[in-house]
Each structure stands twice: as C-alpha cells, then as structure tokens.
C-alpha cells in the first residue's frame, strides 16, 4: 500500500516535471494553478490580527512567503526531497494539538524551530569568528543531539532544525554526524550553515538521497571579498560545491554576513544574478556582522545609513525578483519582531558544550542541557527560566502578540542585543546570565564598547522610527496586494 506522503510527493513531482517540459513559463498550467492557489492561502495567513493590524506588516509577510513559493517552484525537486517536505510541512498531525495545549497552559504557543551547534571545530580560520582552537571537548555527544531533536518533535511539534557551528559537516561523535541525524529523523527538515568545503561528491549524493538536509553555504561576496576573510582558494571550492549540489538536484542556499565593507556587493545586481540565477541557489539569509566573537570590531557593522539602504534594496529583490532573501535584522516585520528566547514560533540555541542561549547572536546562558538532563528534566525546562521569560516579556512590550494594542515597538529594529543593547545588557546582568565561550566578557563592562553600541542604536532609531510610524503604524486596512 502506498503511503499518503509518498503518493502526494509522486503526484506533485510528476506534475511539476511535466510542466517543465513546456519551454514557455506562461504556458505551464499546473505551476500557474498551484502558484495561484498557494498565493491565495499565503494572503490569508499574512493577515493575523493577533499580532498586528498593520497592512504594511501583513504585506511584508505576504511578499516574503510569496518569494519562498516562487523559489520553491523554480527548484528541480527530486522524489526524496518532495517526500521529505510533504511529510514535514503537510503531514504533521500533532502540531495543531500541541499548539492548542501550549496556549491553554502558557498563554502562547511553543517555539517553532531549534538551532543546534554540535561542534565548535571548523576547518577554516576566518577573522572575527568564534570557531577557533576547538578540541574534542567542544563537541556535543550524539545521543544528546538525538534526544534534543526527539524531544523538540514530541513536546513542541518541531519539524525544522538548524545546524550551525563551527562547521556542521565536520561534526563527528563515535562515527555519527549530521547525515546520520537527517537519516534518522527523515520526516524533519534540517538546514546546515556551512562553509561548503567539506561537501564532496559522495556527500552531495547522500544529500540527494536523503532530501531533507539543505546546506546554506557562506559567502562574503565575489572571489576577492570572500577569500579576504575565508582564505585563498575557498571561493572556487564554494563554486564547485554549488555546481555539484545542483547536478545532484540538492536544494541549497547561501548565507551572507553583511559588513560595512561588503553590504553593497552582496546585494548588487551582479551578485544576485550570479548566485541565484546562474548557480541555482534557492534561498538566502543575511546576517549583519555582530561584534561578539573573536577580534571584536564594532566598526565592521554596517552603518545605520547602510542598514537603511539594505532594507530598501533587499525588499526590492524579494518583491521584484521573487527571491527568498531574508535579512534577520531588517525584516523584523516578517517575524513580528525578535524570534529569540524560545518565543512562540521562535527558537533557542544550544551549543557544543550544551549551553542554552536565547539566540546564536545573544551568547549568554543560565542553563545547560546536560545539567537539565542529569536532573531528570526536558527541553521544556530550558525555556521556563526567568532569564528567557524576561526576554519574551521584552518582546511583548515591543509589540509581539499585542493584537495591535502596543504601538511602541519598531520592528525595523527588532534585535535586543544589537538594536537595544543597553536594555539587553540590563536583562543579562539582572539574571546573572554568563557569557558562553564566544562571548567576550568585555562587551558587558567595557565603557568604550557600551558607548559605541548605544550610539549606534540611537542613530539607527533616528532613521527607522519615522519610517515605522509613517509607513507601518498608519496602515491598518485589509491586505489588498495583487497576486
């Protein structure tokens, strides 16, 4: 008997592949019908009065979700990848019940995903990065990783996991790695932030067979910019990896760290054309340089003026080109603010030592997963700490789950540790959160660092607050965006 998920994947796969035999996109009837139907559903999902009544916020969410859909329809799906996505996204019968139980018990839903950095080790030595000088002690035991994933699935209904590091493809514990993890939990989707240099032909073939692990490959720009940070020869290795993945029909994306020096380059027309159209990247994530790792340099952050330009340019790419290119800081309207601290639909981060932080970029902890497990606890105990509750309360005061009643927030500045440093510092100190090993102690106590971060935040506020008030808070009618 054919399983339901397999049957759905087979039908979708056959229909989409037949559609692609038609040379003109305008004549691909199935793709057009599927796009129209899903666009209508996306429009309904975008309007959520529980979060905000702002038309402009709803439009931002709609455009990003539509870009995800457009990116998905451009992909040459394999049967295994379609099968994996159908199981993870459409056939998760427990999630609705789990969310309802959470809302009854806690007043809000569970986290939506989880980030695990199972190893600090990396085969590259990039400046300003925290993954350096790792030892065998900087690796999370595979049985603990297994248990974390198993509990997140059962207790939170999670089917999406992000693997970071260090270099996740270098992770190994008793001959088990991230490919084994994806194989074991084949009804979940995994995304790995990777430098791409360890993805061989054999690994690409395995990824194609699994269908549920997508690499997000880090690039800094074109060859000169990338190799300035990542080392000579790395750029060509990355390009070769992308070509190999495309040949094996593995869905992959790119991960971009924006700095003062490269932000214009990574959002240039030539760059977008090269990586998305020529090499076939399906999605992209933009991270702004955060001065928290090795060799902290605040001057590397994109300036407030550059950040405003990035906001404008990135939305142009999303809306006009239909490319899913999400900026975690500039696209706070899509996520309805900060997603850290295990808030509803958000996440938390567990690193190679088992330390539990609100976010990869908020590297402070009060708990460790190993200690929790040693005392008979579960991952639910990680999010009940006063430290995490304080962060979630800050998010609510800033507009999350406000049902349109809170007007003080500015989701163009959603990040507490970056855009509201003094407030984040106060929370960290109040709850005695300790810096985990890539968070320099001086960021809390060095006067020069504190002053520069506070000055940056004030300048950014002067640029974004008028836009937020005029463009977002004054738009409260129903969504009218054309499909």
Residue 7 lies in a domain: no
Percent of residues, the chain, with pLDDT higher than 90: 65
> Would you state the structure tokens that stand for residue 414, as one six-digit string?
């959603």
Which pLDDT tens digit goes with each residue over 32-62?
566 565 666 667 666 666 656 778 888 999 8
pLDDT band at 374 (very low <50, low <70, confident <90, very high): very high
For residues 14 and 215, give the distance between their C-alpha atoms in angstroms, rounded to a whole number.
Answer: 25
Confidence (pTM): 0.90
Host domain of residue 245: 19-483
Q: Which CATH number does the domain housing residue 63 bear?
A: 3.20.20.70
Least confident of 241-245, 430-434, 441-445: 441-445
Question: Are 304 and 463 spatial neighbours (Cβ–Cβ below 8 Å)?
Answer: yes
Question: Are 304 and 455 spatial neighbours (Cβ–Cβ below 8 Å)?
Answer: no
Residue 23 lies in a domain: yes
Q: How many domains does the chain have?
A: 1
DSSP state, residue 342: T
Question: Are 141 and 181 spatial neighbours (Cβ–Cβ below 8 Å)?
Answer: no
Which pLDDT tens digit goes with each residue over 105-127?
988 899 999 999 999 998 887 77
Residue 181 lies in a domain: yes
For residues 360 and 349, give the distance between their C-alpha atoms in angstroms, rounded to a whole number.
Answer: 6
Residue 164 lies in a domain: yes
Sign of CA dihedral 69, 70, 75, 76: positive
Residue 201 lies in a domain: yes
> Would you state the structure tokens that stand for residue 189, as one six-digit string?
């989707």
Q: How many helices (H) and strands (E) does the chain have?
A: 19, 12
Residue 88 lies in a domain: yes
- 369: CB partners within 8 A, 6+ apart: 144, 148, 350, 354, 355, 356, 379, 382
> Would you state the structure tokens that stand for residue 169, as one six-digit string?
């493809």
Residue 163 lies in a domain: yes
> Would you state the structure tokens that stand for residue 374, as one six-digit string?
């040693």
pLDDT band at 76 (very low <50, low <70, confident <90, very high): confident
Which pLDDT tens digit goes with each residue over 135-153?
567 899 999 999 999 999 9
Question: Are 130 and 438 spatial neighbours (Cβ–Cβ below 8 Å)?
Answer: yes
Report pLDDT for 1. 38
Q: Angle 242-248-251 (CA atoms, 0-180°, nearest 5)?
A: 60
* Phi, psi of 270, deg, nearest 5: -65, -40
pLDDT band at 2 (very low <50, low <70, confident <90, very high): very low
Q: If you average pLDDT over every residue of the chain, what do you get?
A: 87
Residue 10 lies in a domain: no
For residues 267 and 306, give the distance between their C-alpha atoms in angstroms, rounded to a whole number.
Answer: 11
pLDDT band at 177 (very low <50, low <70, confident <90, very high): very high
pLDDT band at 477 (very low <50, low <70, confident <90, very high): very low
* Phi, psi of 204, deg, nearest 5: -60, -40
**DSSP 3-state assignment of 162?**
strand
> Would you state the structure tokens that stand for residue 416, as one six-digit string?
């507490």
Q: CA dihedral in degrees (285, 416, 360, 269; nearest 10)?
A: 20
For residues 452 and 16, give the distance between their C-alpha atoms in angstroms, rounded to a whole number.
Answer: 52
Q: In Å, what is the CA distance from 320 to each residue of 66, 259, 323, 403? A: 11, 24, 8, 30
For residues 391 and 424, give the distance between their C-alpha atoms in angstroms, rounded to a whole number.
Answer: 8
Which pLDDT tens digit goes with each residue over 183-233?
999 999 999 999 999 999 999 999 999 999 999 999 999 999 999 988 899
For residues 218 and 199, give the distance between their C-alpha atoms in angstroms, rounded to a whole number.
Answer: 13
């Amino acid at each position: 008997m054919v399983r339901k998920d397999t049957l759905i994947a087979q039908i979708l796969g056959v229909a989409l592949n037949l559609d692609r035999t038609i040379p003109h996109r305008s004549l691909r009837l199935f793709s057009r019908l599927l796009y129209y139907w899903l666009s209508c559903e996306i429009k309904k999902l975008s309007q959520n009065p529980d979060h905000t009544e702002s038309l402009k916020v709803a439009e931002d969410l709609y455009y990003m979700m539509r870009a995800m859909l457009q990116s998905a329809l451009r992909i040459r799906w394999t049967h295994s990848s379609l099968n994996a996505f159908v199981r993870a996204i459409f056939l998760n019968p427990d999630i609705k019940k789990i969310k309802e139980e959470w809302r009854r018990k806690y007043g809000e839903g569970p986290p939506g995903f989880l980030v695990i950095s199972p190893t600090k080790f990396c085969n590259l030595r990039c400046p300003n990065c925290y993954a350096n000088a790792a030892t065998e002690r900087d690796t999370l035991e595979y049985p603990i990783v297994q248990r974390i994933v198993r509990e997140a699935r059962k207790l939170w209904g999670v089917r999406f996991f992000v693997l970071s590091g260090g270099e996740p493809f270098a992770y190994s514990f008793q001959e088990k790695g991230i490919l084994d993890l994806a194989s074991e939990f084949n009804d979940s989707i995994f995304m790995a932030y990777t430098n791409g240099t360890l993805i061989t032909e054999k690994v690409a073939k395995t990824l194609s067979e699994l269908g549920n692990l997508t690499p997000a490959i880090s690039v800094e720009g074109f060859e000169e910019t990338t190799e300035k940070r990542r080392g000579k020869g790395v750029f060509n290795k990355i390009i070769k990896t992308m070509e190999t993945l495309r040949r094996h029909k593995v869905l992959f994306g790119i991960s971009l760290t924006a700095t003062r020096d490269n932000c214009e380059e990574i959002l240039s027309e030539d760059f977008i054309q090269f990586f998305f159209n020529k090499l076939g990247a399906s999605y992209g994530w933009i991270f702004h340089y955060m001065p928290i790792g090795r060799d902290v340099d605040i001057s590397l952050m994109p300036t407030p003026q550059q950040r405003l330009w990035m906001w404008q340019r990135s939305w142009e790419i999303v809306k006009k080109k239909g490319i899913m290119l999400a900026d975690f800081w500039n696209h706070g309207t899509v996520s309805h603010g900060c997603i850290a601290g295990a808030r509803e639909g958000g996440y938390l981060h567990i690193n190679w030592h088992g330390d539990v932080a609100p976010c990869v970029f908020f590297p402070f902890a009060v708990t460790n997963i190993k200690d929790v497990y040693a005392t008979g606890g579960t991952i639910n105990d990680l999010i009940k700490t006063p430290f995490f509750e304080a962060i979630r309360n800050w998010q609510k005061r800033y507009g999350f789950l406000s049902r349109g009643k809170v007007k003080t927030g500015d989701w163009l500045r959603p990040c507490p540790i970056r855009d509201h440093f003094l407030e984040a510092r106060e929370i960290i100190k109040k709850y005695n959160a300790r810096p985990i090993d890539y968070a320099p102690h001086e960021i809390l106590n060095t006067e020069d660092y504190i002053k520069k971060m506070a000055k940056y935040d004030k300048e950014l506020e002067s640029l974004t607050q008028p836009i937020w008030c005029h463009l977002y808070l004054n738009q409260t009618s129903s969504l009218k965006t054309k499909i």
